[in-house]
Amino acid sequence: MKPTSVSLALRCDGVSRRDFLHLGLLTTFGLSVADLFRLQALGADRPDSRSARATSCILVWLDGGPSHLDTFDPKPDAPSEIRSPFNAITTRVPGLNICEHLPRTAQVMRDVALIRSLTHELGNHDTGTRFLLTGHRPTPALEYPSLGSIVARERGFSSAVPPYVAIPSDAVGGQSNAARAGYLPGAFAAFNVGNDPSRVRDLQPPEGVSFSRSEQRREMLHKMDAFSQNVEEGPLTQNRDAFYEQAYRLLVSPEAKAAFDLSGEKPGAHERYGHSRVGTGCLLARRLIEAGSRFVTVVDTGWDTHQQIFKELPDSRFAGSGKLPNLDRAYSALVTDLRERGLLDSTLVVLMGEFGRTPKLNALGGRDHWPRAGFVCLAGGGVKGGRVIGATNAFGEVPADRPVSPPDLAFTILRLLGVDPTKELVTPSGRPVKILNEGTFIPELV
Amino acid sequence: PRIELAAWLTAPDNPLFARTLVNRVWRHLLGRGLVEPVDDLRSTNPSTHPALLDALAKDFVTNGYNLRQLIRTIVSSRTYQLTSRTRGLNRLDDRFYSHAFVKELAAQIFADTVAQVTGVADQFDGYPEGTHAVQLIGSHTPSYALDVLGRCPRARSCDAPGGTGGGLAQALHLINGQTINDKLRGGIAGQLLARGLADRDVIEELYLRALTRLPEPRELAEWEPLLDRATSTAEAARDLLWTLLNSREFAFNH
């Protein structure tokens, strides 16, 4: 392969002119054979033009680890200590069956690519979540940034709406740092909308303060910070300044603020998504994407079903449960709504958690952590729906076919969003680090 | 067994306890531990200043594990009293204490300081009037302000770096939210004016309360006409107090 064609291929992936020059320099000073192979590999798994359309991503995060056997990977022929008591139902995709408590989702499966062979070996919430959401095995040496923060950094603002938003917050995986900015500046952290997504706080001036007075305060603050040079500039002050700038960018934009206001929805829209937390979260996510957010994470907690799984998942009479009906309504509404609005092609919707759950039921009628097998649903953003990628063995224990690793998934999500996962970023201590060290594009998706 | 544990912890030949505690107090005061992260003391994670850590630990043991004495020793050191200003070459130093490291005010301290500056106390559920945020036990007392200011939720240890911080939500809260704005009404600004103080005295008082310094001449030159021209001096004074509490200078120990 000639260096020029390599470079051109890279530029199609959104590499800047500076990198282009940099690459040119490398070539001038001699590119090693290994480098060439790497670049060839990069060219080989470059998504085709249809798949590069995603400009934003909604991640519906099933915090705690959703059971694959009781949702998207039913095993009706397995023995009773493994089999889910939920029936498998047919979907709009011939031959693809899912759990009976996901009937609405069954109707949108033609838009969904289902990976049934997600597999890794990190069975703690903290480590598993970090692996999935950063694409790196966690290490104490370096805190890696989440996919959302990477996308916020690489794609930036497209409007006054924050590029990375977490609903209700970026606390996932038992308060792990998985969804945070890692070694990137804090300014790329998520905007946490707070516990009531139907009423995001502090977007309006306080009582008795008019908009113009609020603007005057802003001007005073600007002057004050210019007067007072007593605080040495550093990462902390830069983050603080960036957040104030983002805040005011948002506050002075009526369009951006309106994106957070669910009362702007037509009557019935909220019902369609459901008034559950995940339903309200998905509706808000769609509004934010529409208004220009790049990456919105909707966190649905409570999937850590160690006991009474067959009561907790379908039955909303149990406190904090009814997970499946709520998810079914929210997820199917989200995919349908995006399609109806013509936003599905440009919006990648990812549905997953940190791992699957033990095929064998435990003594409490629950399932425990099982990272060796799990599922991911991808829709929109250039992904071809109506297909299943990979499969687990007869008991849902391990991938029988086409294992997919968290780095593969992270690589694919970033690539679909037009971010080059092999790009080098620099940590605060000046160390160059690739966005991802491993992982390859999943070509079956596009 | 607890007595045995305590005896083991504080045995003079226990090399771990005193070093751990000294390191944590040092981090609290200086913004960075001699060993980072502070919950990871092991031989392969060495201290930046091993002799200093040893000396402080030894002193701590000799003084009968007296925390006040330890704090006194640290804060009276030249290192602690250094300015955060840098001189070009040491700008990138983030571990050798060639200058003070800028620290964000902790959530509880921020809240208490706002209460103290404005003269309006917080009220926390289940605690007597006048309780400070730093006196709350654990993190279970509901307080959106403390959450958004980034208090440790204690669901897990917050010792490692990369804590929540409040980010954009915190900035929005400080600009528009209750923590500052509710305390401006009926707070100190109005009281000062009611005492008949001149504009300049009001400004100086607010600066002293919020930033523990007097305004510089150019600051006075900016704010004095502002208060003077305002249709409502009280509103202008509140706006100035809002400005001070939102300023970069207020947000950091420097």
Task: Give the model confidence (pLDDT) of A180-191 as tens digits.
Answer: 899 998 889 999
Higher pLDDT pick, A18 / A443: A443
A193 touches chain B (CB under 8 A): yes
For A331, what's the count of Cα atoms within 13 Å in the CB-facing half-sphere? Answer: 32
Residues of B within 8 A of A206 (CB-CB) are 176-178, 181-182
Task: Give the model confidence (pLDDT) of A384-410 as tens digits.
Answer: 999 999 999 999 999 999 999 999 999
* Angstrom distance (rounded) from CA B183 to CA B185: 5
Helices and strands (H and E) in chain B: how many: 14, 2
Please report the pLDDT score of residue A322 as a whole number.
85
Please report the pLDDT score of residue A349 as a whole number.
98
Higher pLDDT pick, A289 / A42: A289
ipTM of the complex: 0.89
Instruction: Verify whether the Cβ–Cβ distance B243 to A205 is below 8 Å.
Output: no
> Which one-letter DSSP state was computed for residue A49?
G
Residues of A within 8 A of B168 (CB-CB) are 162, 189, 191-192, 243, 246-247, 250
Cross-chain CB nearest to B86 (options A176, A232, A243): A232
Cross-chain CB nearest to B165 (options A186, A214, A221): A186
For A329, what's the count of Cα atoms within 13 Å in the CB-facing half-sphere? Answer: 19
Q: Which of A13-17, A157-161, A336-340 has the highest mean pLDDT?
A: A336-340
Cross-chain CB nearest to A220 (options B40, B182, B240): B240
| A95-104 average pLDDT score | 96
Q: Whose CA is closest to A331, among A112, A164, A162?
A: A112
Q: How far does the CA of residue A13 sit from the closest CA of chain B (Å)? A: 30
Bridge partners, residue A432, by sequence: A426
| A243-268 average pLDDT score | 94
Residues 64-123 of A with CB under 8 A from B: none
User: Beta-strand (E) ranges in A82-169?
Assistant: 88-90, 97-99, 112-118, 164-167
Instruction: Verify whether the Cβ–Cβ distance B172 to A250 is below 8 Å.
Output: yes
Cross-chain CB nearest to A204 (options B176, B185, B252): B176
Residues of A within 8 A of B244 (CB-CB) are 224
With a pLDDT cut of 70, the percent of chain A lying above it is: 87
* Angstrom distance (rounded) from CA A90 to CA A395: 20
Residue-level length of chain A: 446
* Angstrom distance (rounded) from CA B143 to CA B101: 29
* Angstrom distance (rounded) from CA B17 to CA A277: 45
The pTM assigned to this predicted structure is 0.85
Please list, in sequence order, all residues whose beta carbon lies within 8 angstroms of the beta carbon of residue A139, skipping any fewer than 6 positions away. Answer: none
Cross-chain CB nearest to A206 (options B162, B176, B246): B176
Higher pLDDT pick, B21 / A316: B21
Query: How would residue A5 be classed by pLDDT, with cut points 50, 70 and 90?
Result: very low
pLDDT in tens, chain B (254 residues): 899 999 999 898 888 999 999 999 999 999 899 998 888 888 888 999 999 999 999 999 999 999 999 999 999 999 999 988 888 888 888 889 999 988 888 889 999 999 999 999 999 988 998 899 999 987 788 888 888 888 877 665 665 444 445 789 999 999 999 999 999 987 898 889 889 899 999 999 999 999 999 999 999 999 999 999 999 999 999 999 999 999 999 999 88
Whole-angstrom CA distances from A330 to A274, A335, A400, B216, B239 are 6, 9, 31, 57, 44
Please report the pLDDT score of residue A34 as a whole number.
42
Task: Give the model confidence (pLDDT) of A39-85 as tens digits.
Answer: 434 433 444 444 457 999 999 999 999 999 999 999 999 999 999 99
pLDDT > 60? residue A163: yes
SS3 A433: strand
Instruction: Verify whether the Cβ–Cβ distance B156 to A174 is below 8 Å.
Output: yes
Q: Is the dihedral of CA A302, A308, A313, A318 positive or negative?
A: negative
User: Beta-strand (E) ranges in B46-152?
Assistant: 103-104
A29 touches chain B (CB under 8 A): no
Pair B41, B23: CB distance under 8 Å: yes
A–B interface: beta-carbon pairs under 8 A? 144
Dihedral angle computed from the Cα positions of residues A196, A199, A202 and A208, in that order, rounded to the nearest 10 degrees: -140
pLDDT > 90? residue A434: yes
pLDDT > 60? residue A109: yes
Higher pLDDT pick, A31 / A432: A432
Instruction: Verify whether the Cβ–Cβ distance B243 to A221 is below 8 Å.
Output: yes
Please report the pLDDT score of residue A317 as a whole number.
59
Q: How far does the CA of residue B52 sit from the closest CA of chain A (Å)? A: 24
Q: How far does the CA of residue A312 sit from the closest CA of chain B (Å)? A: 23
A174 touches chain B (CB under 8 A): yes
pLDDT > 90? residue A15: no
Query: How would residue A314 be classed by pLDDT, with cut points 50, 70 and 90?
Result: confident
Query: How would residue A97 be classed by pLDDT, with cut points 50, 70 and 90?
Result: very high
> Which one-letter DSSP state was computed for residue A205?
P
Instruction: Verify whether the Cβ–Cβ distance A246 to B168 is below 8 Å.
Output: yes
A252 touches chain B (CB under 8 A): no
* Angstrom distance (rounded) from CA B86 to CA B254: 12
* Angstrom distance (rounded) from CA A312 to CA A301: 13
Pair A203, A257: CB distance under 8 Å: yes
Cross-chain CB nearest to B102 (options A174, A221, A232): A232
Task: Give the model confidence (pLDDT) of A276-286 as tens digits.
Answer: 999 999 999 99
Residues of B within 8 A of A216 (CB-CB) are 239
Helices and strands (H and E) in chain A: how many: 14, 16
